[in-house]
Amino acid sequence: MTTHEWPGDSATVEQWMRESLRPDPSEFELRGIDDVRISSTVDGDHLERLIVDGTGVALRLRVPKHDSAPTASASPVAPDVVERRRGTARTVRMLARPVEIEGIPLTIDVQLDDAPIEWQVFASPVVAGRPESLYGIVLADDGAGMRGSFLASMTADDLTPLLTSLLRPALKAAGMRLRHLSVTGAQDGTDGIRIDGAAAVRWRLIGASARGSARIGIEPDGVVTVRDLRVGSTNPFVALALRAARKNIRAEIGRRHDLNASLAADGVALRVHDLRVTVDDEIRISARVG
């Protein structure tokens, strides 16, 4: 692609989207990502429709093993934008009903309507070795006027297997072994959830285990409150470390996290509405934005 071809036509945008979905292979590989279906309609500088559909796709995560500890990366530098074009994304939808991640089915459905966007061309690719990163789409005007919805759900019994399948290769790449993991969720009144977890890992000849529980309140206007937080361990070394961190742990109890305030602080003119998290046989998260 050359600068005058961005955004170009639907095929150009779809190619850029497909390349952008692929993770950096030096960090991890996501097998099955090429099976995601992408379609779009472009009208001049307006993205009339973009659909990213992962329904029925089976994704597998593979983390490469590094022979040495990864080096600290330099602070990201803001890319030099050499061309900007304004437009509107009329409808952007990302759905998977369901997608399989490590054999575990998840339902995801995100839709955004009337989003102000800016098509950008940079002086050079933002990510080395990724030519598609010469181009970008960013939210303009802090998202003013945009509307949308979000839904994600999965079977509650699949939470531990999913987290295990994701964490095990990542820990293995770092030279550690996940010996045990258990995470369960339950409804805690009409406006809260309770999460209980236990984990054990081993690094060389050293083993460590810990358990914890958290009660979290969730309000429809996007305020999340930590109602209670407890951690402990039968391992004396881990227990000693947790005792040293007790003050910080207690400080979290009662702390309110306002998602809308965080969005405003980041300059995003959006608000979360009707946030709902329910846990029974199914874990379900839904919300509207606007």
pLDDT tens for residues 70-123? Answer: 454 555 567 899 999 999 999 999 999 999 999 999 999 999 999 999 999 999
Range of the domain at 54: 3-72+79-145
> What pTM did the predictor assign?
0.85
Per-residue model confidence as pLDDT tens digits over 22-45: 888 777 888 999 999 999 999 999
115: Cα separation from own chain's centroid: 20
Contact 55/96 with Cβ under 8 angstroms? Answer: yes
pLDDT recorded at residue 123: 92
Contact 192/166 with Cβ under 8 angstroms? Answer: no
Q: For the chain, how many residues are written? A: 290
Per-residue model confidence as pLDDT tens digits over 145-176: 999 999 999 999 999 999 999 898 888 878 89
189 lies in the same domain as 235: yes
The total number of structural domains in the chain stands at 2
Tell me what percent of the chain is helix, strand and coil, each rounded to the nearest 5: 25, 50, 30
Question: Side chain identity at 165, as an amino acid letter?
Answer: S
161 lies in the same domain as 139: no
Cα–Cα dist 50/64, whole Å: 32
138 lies in the same domain as 182: no
111 lies in the same domain as 187: no
89 lies in the same domain as 132: yes
In a domain, 7, yes or no: yes
Determine the average pLDDT of the residues in 192-216. Answer: 93
Domain boundary among 145, 174, 189: 145
104 lies in the same domain as 165: no
pLDDT confidence tier of residue 237, bands split at 50, 70 and 90: confident
In a domain, 150, yes or no: no
49 lies in the same domain as 119: yes
In a domain, 9, yes or no: yes
pLDDT recorded at residue 66: 56
Contacts of 287 (CB under 8 A, 6+ apart): 149, 150, 222, 272, 273, 274, 275, 276
185 lies in the same domain as 210: yes
Q: What mean pLDDT, rounded, does the chain reach?
A: 90
pLDDT higher than threshold 90 for residue 235 = no
Contacts of 85 (CB under 8 A, 6+ apart): 6, 7, 45, 118, 119
Q: Of 180, 225, 172, 232, whose CA–CA distance to 203 is shortest?
A: 172
Contact 256/223 with Cβ under 8 angstroms? Answer: yes
Per-residue model confidence as pLDDT tens digits over 263-287: 888 888 889 999 999 999 999 999 9
pLDDT recorded at residue 28: 80
Query: Strands, E, within 233-280: which ranges?
Result: 256-258, 272-279
